[in-house]
Amino acid sequence: MRGAVIHAPGDVRFETVDDAKILKPTDAVIRTAVTCVCGSDLWPYRGVVPTGHAHPMGHEYVGFVEEVGSEVTAVRPGQFVVGSFATSDNTCANCRNGFQSSCLNREFMSTCQAEYVRIPNAQGTLVATEDIPDERLWPGLLAVSDVLGTGWWAADAAEVKPGSTAVVVGDGAVGLCAVIAAKELGAERIIAMSRHESRQKLALEFGATDIVSERGEDGVARVKNLTDGIGADSVLECVGTEQSMRQALHSARPGGNVGFVGVPHDVAVDGQELFYSHVGLRGGPAPVRRYLPDLIDRVLTGSVDPGKVFDLTLPLEQVAEGYRAMDERRAIKALLKP
Ligand SMILES: [Zn+2]
């Protein structure tokens, strides 16, 4: 089979890789329906995360079950399935507490930009749809497996409540999906921080009520201005840089909460400042599995359409162009079709 392999920064190739096969009785193998390039894939692509040796790429997937291991009874060959970038048995203590992305048997997905994918912990990870969904819904279901699940976690961690004010820092696919989540969870005012016109447009379409294009302390000042000078109830940090984290912490009101889901790179939080801010802080890899049944249902019924974050569709074999387009910010998110 063929899949994407990163050889060095800026060098992603579509080439022959080892066939996906059942290695443990808890595995499944799926045939990829659609996959995509993630904003976090750009960290190694840009050399921020070093690439020691060539390795496969991709952690987002929806597909058709091809084969299951002897201990997998929850899904069967032929079914359409949605999963998560973090696999989980869904039975251990952390899973039962709803933090499946801290599963004691967790394995992160890392080979999904390929024709077939091995899914560890398939029994607890995969959720099958009742029927094969219409192909037009595949991008939305793919978004559920990572970016919507992660945006949802940002809103959940920041305790977005009906009638509240939410700020979303970051206008990548996760940030835009965080706008959807804030809206669905009842936020009345949603302030999206974005300086790109096409992304601002999508944020408004997804439910943002205000756009702030300033960054840093200027952005914070605008947010304060829009919130009677005290800050927002909930801030959803979807970038992972020092600046975005500072912007998020300073935009929350005393007693408010920041949910941070951008993987932090060189982010340091000042303990004393946090102490006196009275701001609650929670983040981490999203427990997408907890949200899957609900989010799949919202996509299938058409109440949300996160598939709109894909503004570029390419054949899987042109995966390298997907990376280039996202690196050069010509695309928000690239959808790849085998
Ligand atoms: Zn577990």
Query: For 201-218, what is each residue's pLDDT tens digit?
Result: 999 999 999 999 999 999
8 and 78 both lie in a single domain: yes
109 and 183 both lie in a single domain: no
Distance between Cα 66 and ligand 1 center (Å):
24
267 and 226 both lie in a single domain: yes
Contact predicate 28/65, CB 8 Å:
yes
Is 294 a domain residue?
Answer: no
Taking the model in full, what pTM does it have? Answer: 0.96
Is 265 a domain residue?
Answer: yes
What is the predicted pLDDT for the residue at 126? 98
Is 96 a domain residue?
Answer: yes
Chain-centroid distance, C-alpha 186: 20
Distance between Cα 193 and ligand 1 center (Å):
35
Is 239 a domain residue?
Answer: yes
9 and 127 both lie in a single domain: yes
Distance between Cα 104 and ligand 1 center (Å):
5
Neighbours of 242 (CB within 10 A): 14
**Structure-block tokens of residue 114:** 């390929």
272 and 333 both lie in a single domain: no
Is 141 a domain residue?
Answer: no
Contact predicate 206/181, CB 8 Å:
no
240 pLDDT higher than 90: yes
Cα 216 to Cα 193: distance, rounded to the nearest angstrom: 10
Query: For 147-156, what is each residue's pLDDT tens digit?
Result: 999 999 999 9
Which residues make up the environment of ion ligand 1, defined by Cβ < 5 Å?
Answer: 88-89, 92, 95, 103
277 and 324 both lie in a single domain: no
Distance between Cα 83 and ligand 1 center (Å):
14
Is 143 a domain residue?
Answer: no
Neighbours of 229 (CB within 10 A): 9
172 and 248 both lie in a single domain: yes
Please compute the mean of the pLDDT values over residues 238-257 and round it to a whole number: 96
Is 292 a domain residue?
Answer: no
Distance between Cα 321 and ligand 1 center (Å):
36
Distance between Cα 89 and ligand 1 center (Å):
4
Distance between Cα 94 and ligand 1 center (Å):
6
Q: Which domain holds residue 222?
A: 148-283
61 pLDDT higher than 90: yes
Domain boundary among 283, 313, 329: 283
Q: Into how many domains does the chain fold? A: 2
92 and 195 both lie in a single domain: no
What is the predicted pLDDT for the residue at 69? 98
Distance between Cα 289 and ligand 1 center (Å):
10
49 and 128 both lie in a single domain: yes
253 and 156 both lie in a single domain: yes
60 and 34 both lie in a single domain: yes
Side chain identity at 249, as an amino acid letter? Answer: L
Is 252 a domain residue?
Answer: yes
Distance between Cα 286 and ligand 1 center (Å):
14
CATH number of the domain bearing residue 232: 3.40.50.720
Instruction: Share the mean pLDDT of the chain.
Output: 97
253 and 312 both lie in a single domain: no
What is the predicted pLDDT for the residue at 65? 98
pLDDT bucket at 52, cuts 50 / 70 / 90: confident
Contact predicate 46/11, CB 8 Å:
no
Query: For 151-176, what is each residue's pLDDT tens digit?
Result: 999 999 999 999 999 999 999 999 99
Long-range residue pairs from 92-100, CB within 8 A, at least 24 positions apart, any chain? 95/124, 95/289, 98/287, 98/290, 99/287, 99/290, 100/124, 100/287, 100/288, 100/289, 100/290
Contact predicate 106/124, CB 8 Å:
no
Distance between Cα 124 and ligand 1 center (Å):
8
CATH number of the domain bearing residue 318: 3.90.180.10
